[in-house]
Structure 1
Amino acid sequence: MTLQSPDPTRQFQDGLARFRAGRVAEARALFEALLKTHPNAPDPLFHLGRCLVAEGDRKGAMAAFQTALKGKPSDGPIWRALHGLLKGPAKAKLERQAAKAKIALGLEEQVRPILSAITKGRAAQVERTAVDLARATPGAFWPALALGEVWLALGKAATGPLEMARSVDPDHPRGKLALARAYLALGKVGRAEALLDQNAPGHAVALARLYRDIARPEAAVALLRDSKAKGVSVELALSLAACGESDAALKAADRAVSQGADKAALYRQVAYGLESAGDVAGAERALDAVLAVRATAPLLTHRAQLDQSAGDMAAAEARLAEAIAADPTHGEAFRAYANGRKVAADDPVFAQLQSALDRPDLRKPDRARLHFAAAKAAWDQKRDGDVFTHLTTANRLMAESYPYSFDADLAQARLLVGDASVVDGVRRDGPDAPVIFVTGLPRSGTTLVETILAAHPLAQAGGEMPFLSRALVPAMEALRDGTAQPDLFAAAGRRYLRAARRRAGDGVIVDKAISTFSRIGHTLAALPGANIVLVRRDPRDTGLSLYRNMFPEGLHRYAYDLTAMGRYIRLHEAVADFWHQRYPDRVHLIEYEALTQDPEPQIRALLEAVGLPWDGACLAPEAASRRIQTLSFAQARQPIGTASIAGWQKFETELQPLLDALEYQVDLTPDG
């Protein structure tokens, strides 16, 4: 648009900037003021119409677009904006007029092949088509929606096109659903929830997933229990599983299978949910029900890992042998077998492992797991020269599959410690329950400390529970939006406690959530009665142990590269030290080496710090009967000892990249 003076131009640009920033009312006022001096100017009219659409004034928006179109009859965005508001015969008439004027409207039929490809798992193949169509039809609803859904399917940031689509048609159910999914991917649960209407197609399922993601599975069940919407049975089964209701979850899963869901895949998901909720017997029942009719290697391996966590190594080995027989290339079965015992050179499974590694048709995930298993076997057989040969390959394959960015972790760490003054000021209205969080780097001794505490008759260990990070999501979102709301932190504490008690039972809860180290201030804002135990170990031994192990998909990505690992270890220490110094009376530091070399004084100090009376059972944690659902399930059943101290020295040459990276100095200041 060309205006007669610089001032109107600046006014127009200011209106655009405010609209893009979401300050719609301010933008509308600027465009209305501009139109008083430049009546019927097409560009201000067009953007006024967009403001009116965002405010729900469809009639006013149509009038603005129609007047704008008279001034710019060949302007595609105006045609498309008007088309998005019309219905019935008026819409059909505009489509005929657009075809005659050779204006591309970006109609629904143009994107149907793209949307169909997404449902068939071929989003990557149609991405270029979606991009080209969106560029050719700026301001059109359907092309923007299709591009957003393609990017959602590919795991890319999709809010840009989806927010644009919603600006054209704010009430379209599919557009709102897609944008809600994009917000959820960014952790913006408040924005997502505001878009979802449980009565709209597909929205109930998305809303239930949202509730599960923030540790509110009970709300998901209440939403879905009487729903007749498509796809509800699957989500209801998973939500019931997250509540630990195994009978009801399996009944819903059966209903979903009768409606076409894959039984093996669904039952395994249900098993994971029940296991997380603390109903391990229900998880075993779910897996056994599928294994009775379909004994696949992944299912057998999963079932064997439950046996390992319970300490039944004989049953685990029998199932793993069956899994390997069913699929001699299934790397996870070999890795689980090696983690559960010392692998002798004459072990038949070792021979099978060597044969599997020689196969040229291995999938990358299986090859990585096989090399981790082979490294463990070499370690057990004291073939030190072969240990890093296998570890280097295994970790390289994992790093290729899960790229890592230290800069992203550093930025997140700076953001979290930057919250300190805000969370310090949050009113402590959360539950004052005695929760003990054991945190530190993976492989630093956190499982040993958790097991020591779990041996106390007043304590109940839940393992590495995911509930606090989930429960905190709404509070963290508000914090990022510039407000720290006490009620959200208190609500997070209550949700966490409900989920943790369901899994761990009554008593003093012990939670080995590794991620707690970075959010100690936030944790204490949600749970004022909590105590934090920070475990620290020689970083060289920790680094070696990290490099020897594989973690759940996508987690601890730094562990697959020695240089990245060294820098991350220093970052972890800097963040943990920050919170320790800020809350010295709430964070108890325990050194792994001191604990294993002279346990009793360290354990006495530990119990005093967390408010538990002395009990001699804590000196022999290996005698306690409980499930251990971490990589340390075997070690934690051994007496406290020093065998793992200074093990890094044997591999000093191979670990040199780690040793060099440990010289890195971390700066947590925002502009550091």
Structure 2
Amino acid sequence: MTSPESAEPTGSLATAIAHTSRLLAQNPALAEEQATEILRVVPESPEAALLRAMAVARQGRRDEAEGQFVALLKRLPDYAGAWFELGQFHARAGDMESAVDAVRRAVKEAPGYTQAWLALADMLTVQGKTDEADAAFARHIATSTNDPNLMAAATALVENRLPEAEHLLRAHLKQFPSDVAAMRMLAETGGRLGQYDDAVALLEHCIALAPGFDAARHNLALMLNRNGRLLEALDHLDFLIGKDGNNPNYRLLHAACLSRLGRYEEAIEAYERILKVFDGHPQSWMSYGHALKTVGRQEDGIKAYEKAVAIAPELGEVWWSLANLKTFRFSNDQLAIMEREVKREDISKEDRFHLHFALGKAYEDRKVYSQSFAHYEVGNTERREELQYSAEITSGLVARSKELLTADFFAARQGQGSQAADPIFVVGLPRAGSTLVEQILSSHSMVEGTMELPDIIAIAKELGFKDGRKGTGLYPGSIAGLPADRLKALGEEYLDRTRIQRKEGTPFFIDKMPNNWLHAGLIHLILPNAKIIDARRHPMGCCFSGFKQHFARGQAFTYGLMEIGRYYHDYVDLMSHIDRALPGRIHRVIYERMVEDTETEIRALLDYCGLPFEESCLRYWETDRAVRTASSEQVRKPIFKDAVEHWKNYDPWLAPLREALGPVLSSYPASPFV
């Protein structure tokens, strides 16, 4: 029996359809009855058939709803609205691959379908396909405005002509300063250009003008996350989740922010809540695996990674995440799957080079070194094509630093800077033993281990330092004119920025960003009482270990044997110069000595840090703490010697590395720069 409200529709078909559509959100059962009545009168109505399928889906009758969607699209395969709603149906069920396929079909049938482009961008973001998501988002912007100037800017954004898009949008906002759509577009342009501070400011202004502009607020949370302003990002995400708790993009970003804050147990709970609803999201399983691995739940992490590749075997990052556990060994079946997937022509470049790195590790474990090196070499080559790194820029920075940072320069500034002694910096190259040093020190009751903190590099950028993609800037010459109060303020700024990472209330904490060796002089000037530890490993072992490691970000010099050799050479050169200018300021830990005489080296390390000896530092592997780096599983075991000369298995292919290292190799562990 039908209810009085669902009596046979009267008036025009359009009126009846509109009424059914309104009912859909309030009472899907009633909407189903109304749609059925319309179809009884007008059996061929596609709108009524679609509304009925949507109403059935909202009542939880999934199989029945899917059958209705399929039947409708079999009859009308070019019905973009039905493809879009089928995509939403799959997304709510956690089947993101099917959702993306359906929404792609929607925009193929209707290229101007603004809402579908936005949904596609969100879905691709969930899958971690950021380049495709950016392109879809740009198409969403391009189709959402009729203003000719904005359309031209949107077209430039879609085609990645970013300077042109920026120019057009700034001109438009001069004339229409409150156009929030244009602000959001300009923020998107700025984000792609790496102008994150400008993008954040634009988006903050945008939501101040339009607090209900949820898409802009989500973009702001993304930018804040990239900028390391994690608590602010969480505030906006809490607001969005309060409005739409079922949006997986909001919840995934929320969990990622918790992980970056070191709140791993909360992050794990957040991923588990997401996966209860969206258990078909391979990217969610991967992120869940990352968090589990970090807190030492290796077996659970492996299960999560394996669940991800069972859903999407082409996801190279997941295979590399398994390889990156270092202690994990691939089965023959898994090796065969990776070999199959890497040969596919339809996978992304990112998936392909991740697969090559994983295959390099798989064959390394099997002692098939020629095949292992071949995969490492291809993976590095393909990754290097995605980056812009110049060894000359690093060498130039080292030369300018040596010229400026003399003993007289430091003596003239003695006693300046913040006098706090809290930070312990561990610098050097990746894969040189810095995580081992951190684990030993954080086993002490007075020391907290944090992570590779970006804050010294951020402060250096404020002073004119730029990475290889943006030129050399003014740094380090800009340091010379800083007055005493500014040096102190920068030290205090560093302490303020890093306070968010300190949770244990210990007197000392560790910042193990390896790249901070480039800024050892700056660290001394703004924090003269901070400790600086240089973790150093044999150049061949260290550099080759870096070459076969895929880093998530920030180590662009590692993807070529010549480049990483030059980088190591420059690092030894600058550290030797600092040793001469500031004798005894930096404590050096030679990895091979730590392996041979662990207790003596640990006692010397604690003495340098002014820490009383504690037995727990000798049994560092028993310390239960989160470890985020590639060595996370290795430092949870007693020190091992196998890796010290492992590079020799690859010696036939390492001539470019030996050539780039030059005298640094023959002098090790001493320095040729004396």
Give TM-score, length-normalised by structure 1.
Answer: 0.66
- Residues 1:498 and 2:535 aligned together: no
TM superposition shift of 1:532: 0.1
Can you give the 5+ residue segments of structure 1 that lack an aligned partner in the other structure? 1-107, 131-145, 151-161, 207-223, 667-672
Q: Which residue pairs with 1:538 in the alignment?
A: 538
**Structure 2 stretches of 5 or more lacking a match?**
1-145, 466-473, 666-674
What amino acid does structure 1 have at the position aligned with 2:629?
T
Residue 204 of structure 1 is matched in structure 2 by 205
CA contact (8 A) 1:462 1:500 kept: no
Output aligned runs, 1:255-654, within 5 Å: 255=242, 263-295=247-279, 296-340=281-325, 342=327, 344=329, 346-420=331-405, 425-426=412-413, 428-476=416-464, 483-505=481-503, 506-507=505-506, 508-553=508-553, 555-654=554-653
Mapped to 2, the partners of 1:424 and 1:500 lie a distance apart of 28
Alpha-carbon distance between aligned partners in 1 of 2:250 and 2:387, rounded to the nearest angstrom:
25
> Structure 1 residues 445 and 300, CA, compared in 2 at 3 Å: closer, same or farther?
same
Moved more, 350-359 or 340-349: 340-349
Q: What displacement does 1:288 show?
A: 3.1
Select which of 123, 148, 153 maps to 2:160: 123
Cα deviation, residue 571, structure 1: 1.0
Call closer, same or farther: CA 1:410–1:148 in 2, change over 3 Å.
farther
Give the direction of change, closer, same or farther, for the CA distance of 1:179–1:419 in structure 2 (3 Å limit).
farther
RMSD across aligned positions (CA): 3.9
AA aligned to 2:296 is G
| Corresponding letter in the other structure for 1:460 | E
2-side partners of 1:252 and 1:593: how far apart? Answer: 51
| Counterpart code for 1:625 | D
Residues 1:340 and 1:123: Cα distance change in structure 2 (over 3 Å): closer
TM-superposed deviation, 1:297: 1.6
Other structure's SS at 1:437 match: strand
Identity %: 22
Q: State yes or no: 1:252 paired with 2:239.
A: yes
Cα deviation for residue 255 of structure 1 reads: 4.9
Structure-2-length-normalised TM-score: 0.66
Q: 1:472–1:489: 8 Å Cα contact kept in structure 2?
A: no
Summarize the Cα distance change of 1:179–1:273 in structure 2 as closer, same or farther, 3 Å threshold: closer
- SS at structure 2 position matched to 1:533: strand
- In the alignment, residue 117 of structure 1 is paired with which amino acid? T
| Offset of residue 184 of structure 1 | 12
Letter in 2 for 1:337: L
Equivalence map 1:46-195=2 (5 Å): 111-118=149-156, 121-124=158-161, 146=165, 148=167
Letter in 2 for 1:430: S
Secondary structure of residue in 1 paired with 2:341: helix
* Contact 2:323–2:361 (Cα < 8 Å) also in 1: yes
Q: CA deviation at 1:552?
A: 1.5
Matches of 1:601 and 1:226, distance apart in 2: 62
Are the structure 2 counterparts of residues 268 and 483 from structure 1 closer, same or farther at C-alpha, using a change threshold of 3 Å?
Answer: farther
Give the whole-Å Cα distance in 2 for the aligned partners of 1:633 and 1:325: 24
Cα distance per residue 1:504-528 (max 9 Å; x no partner) = 3321101111121111121122223
Q: Structure 2: how far apart are the matches of 1:567 and 1:548?
A: 17
Aligned-pair distance for 1:228?
A: 6.7
Matching residue's letter, 2:205: A
Query: Per the alignment, in what secondary structure is the counterpart of residue 340 of structure 1?
Result: coil
State the partner residue of 1:55: none
C-alpha separation between the residues in 1 aligned to 2:386 and 2:321? 20
- In the TM superposition, what is the alpha-carbon distance from 1:302 to its structure 2 partner? 1.5
Partner of 1:214: none
1:311-351: CA deviations, max 9, x gaps? 11111111111100110100011111122255556454333
Q: Residues 352, 590 of structure 1: CA spacing in aligned structure 2 closer, same or farther, 3 A cutoff?
A: same
Aligned mates of 1:347, 1:444 — CA distance in 2: 31
- The answer to whether the Cα contact below 8 Å between 1:263 and 1:290 also exists between their aligned partners in 2 is no
Shift of 1:558: 1.8
- Residue 608 of structure 1 and its aligned partner are, at CA, apart by 0.7
Contact conserved, 2:237 with 2:250, CA < 8 A, in 1? no
Distance 1:537 1:589 in 2: 10
Q: CA deviation at 1:270?
A: 3.3
Letter in 2 for 1:204: H
Decide whether the 8 Å contact of 1:334 with 1:369 is kept in 2.
yes
Greater shift in the superposed pair: 245-254 or 331-340:
245-254
Contact 1:304 1:319 in 2 (8 A): yes
User: How far 1:471 sits from its partner (Å)?
Assistant: 4.1
The answer as to whether partners of 1:446 and 1:535 remain within 8 angstroms in 2 is: yes
Does the C-alpha gap of structure 1 residues 431 and 237 become closer, same or farther in structure 2, counting only changes over 3 Å?
farther
- Aligned residue-pair number: 498
3-state DSSP of counterpart to 2:545 = helix
